[in-house]
Amino acid sequence: MQKYTVVVCDHIHEAGLKMLQDDDAINFVMAADVDKKELVEKIIPTADVAITRSSTDVDSFFIEHATNLKAIVRAGVGVDNVDIPGCSKKGIIVMNVPTANTIAAVELTMTHMLSCMRMFPYSHDHLKNQRIWKREKWYGYELKGKKLGVIGFGNIGSRVAKRAKAFEMDIVAYDPYINPSKVTDLDMTYTKNFEDILSCDVITIHTPKNKETIGIIGEEEIAKMKDGVVLVNCARGDLYNEDALYNGLKSGKIRFAGIDVFGKEPATDNKLLDLDNIVVSPHLGANTYESQYNIGTQAAENAIAAAKGIAYPNAMNLPIDESKIPPFVKPFLEMGQKIGFMASQINKSKIVSIKVKGNGEIGNYVESLATFVTVGAMSHSTETINYVNADFVAKEKNVEVEAVNLGDSAVYKNLITVKLTTNEGTTTISATIFEDGLQRIVSIDGFDNEVAIKGDMILFKNSDVPGVIGSVGTILAQNNVNISDFSLARNANKEALAVILVDNVVSDKTLEELASLEACKSVSYARL
């Protein structure tokens, strides 16, 4: 079995480390405590995939030594310490885990907002540390009826807005990169005019840190705000200009601010700390046990998928302009790659052609989808294939790639179908994504199986006669293979296809025993 080297450059949750250790296809290297120069010069050249956090800069020095690297997983949301253009030039896919710490950041934002309105940390200090009981000193304000301006209405900003609405606040959202209905459907106000945000009682920001957003709130913007405005930033440092923020707080124009992030960290000597109308925390947005578990396990899961060529979840440097595609498209692209990878395991032979069809709105993006499917399907035979060179590699190996837009689907809102043809035959898989975000196969080779696209999977095709399921279960039990899900479908030719998700790696011996059953027509095995 081929092994892939995954290097963990910074500390992640032990559950993520265990996932890497337990995968027999992964050569796991823990290098979080290694000197960074030694890490880059001696260890990174051996890595197929690297997992990093904020302590490791993926700069030109790092990239220069990443001679074997196919992907980087940034264990967190922010990628401002990753040279994405430099990685793209070298064909390195950059991924992050954008939703792992969502709830932690949302709840911290609400904590800061409430602390600012009620001056809670100061009253706490007054009583607990100074032992002064002076209720009349601590009159605050209620959230109810106040207007909240939300800059950035993504995973975190939208959830902050929903929680603020539960406090009966009036929400105004500014985000030029979303469909306004995402806001208006929640009975909130969407605006394209940034001045509307500046007129709010409380303002919170939830954007990435880039050229467009650095200093988005400065002296000029603060001057236009209401007297006594409250500002909150639990996103990234420097989104509020710190000099302007300091001056606004000192003058009283800004009544209170809740700040978790700073332009330069650690921020122990930041002048904002000298003020007595600010609530601060040391970049705790992801600091919950739950989010650290989520970050660690999702980073490990993504690293394993990337190392094996199954998928590159949440890739930041895709071969498409993400600003020009709706948010629903990206998960279909990732799912397409998984299906291509799965089909190539079911139908193990030289690939002749790959045909990708799209029903529904996803059909408008079927060309991009075909690129992802090609990467997944050919990753077994071509280690160097990626999104950038997929078309070239396919042509070089005489693999015909076809993309077809079929228009609307009669059954599913969006449906993708992959037909992989090899020297040995064809495999056709259809899949969709349901409203809850669940990726599901809905058909395999004409059988209407519905099954999740994950884990270890046995596909057992047989004559539709009594007793087969029992015999299959017995063989798996005798080989200590535990079944986690079982999907059975039949066709008009008196054949049945069982798709069996299992918790264990399945040995060749077990597959041979299944194939020896009299009713068996074929057995295949895929690992996702």
Active-site positions? Answer: 236, 265, 283
Interatomic CA distance for residues 108 and 102, integer angstroms: 10
Question: Letter for the amino acid at 431?
Answer: A
111's CB contacts (< 8 A; 6+ apart) are: 258
Question: In this structure, are residues 447 and 492 in contact, taking their beta carbons and an 8 Å threshold?
Answer: no
Separation between Cα atoms, residue 256 and residue 421, nearest integer Å:
64
Pairing of strands 414-422, 425-433: antiparallel
* Contact between 338 and 528 (Cβ < 8 Å): yes
Q: Measure CA 457 to chain center.
A: 23
DSSP 489: E
Relative to beta strand 495-502, strand 483-490 is: antiparallel
How big is the chain by its Cα radius of gyration, in Å? 27
Phi, psi of 135 (to 5 degrees): -60, -35
Q: Report the sign of the C-alpha dihedral through residues 476, 477, 481, 487, in that order.
A: positive
Q: In the block, which residue shows the tokens 């990443």? A: 66
Alpha helices in 134-213 (DSSP H): 155-166, 181-184, 194-198
Alpha helices in 309-450 (DSSP H): 329-346, 366-378, 390-396
Phi, psi of 157 (to 5 degrees): -55, -40
In angstroms, rounded to a whole number, what is the distance separating the alpha carbons of residues 176 and 39?
40
Residue 478 has a CB neighbour count (10 Å cut-off) of: 10
- One-letter amino acid at 19 equals M
How far is the C-alpha of 202 from the C-alpha of 438, rounded, in Å?
Answer: 36
Q: Measure CA of the first residue to CA of the last residue in the chain; give whole Å.
A: 15
Number of Cβ within 10 Å of residue 208's Cβ equals: 16
Asked if residues 127 and 134 have their Cβ atoms less than 8 Å apart, the reply is no
Angle at the Cα of 251 from the Cα atoms of 250 and 256, rounded to 5 degrees: 60
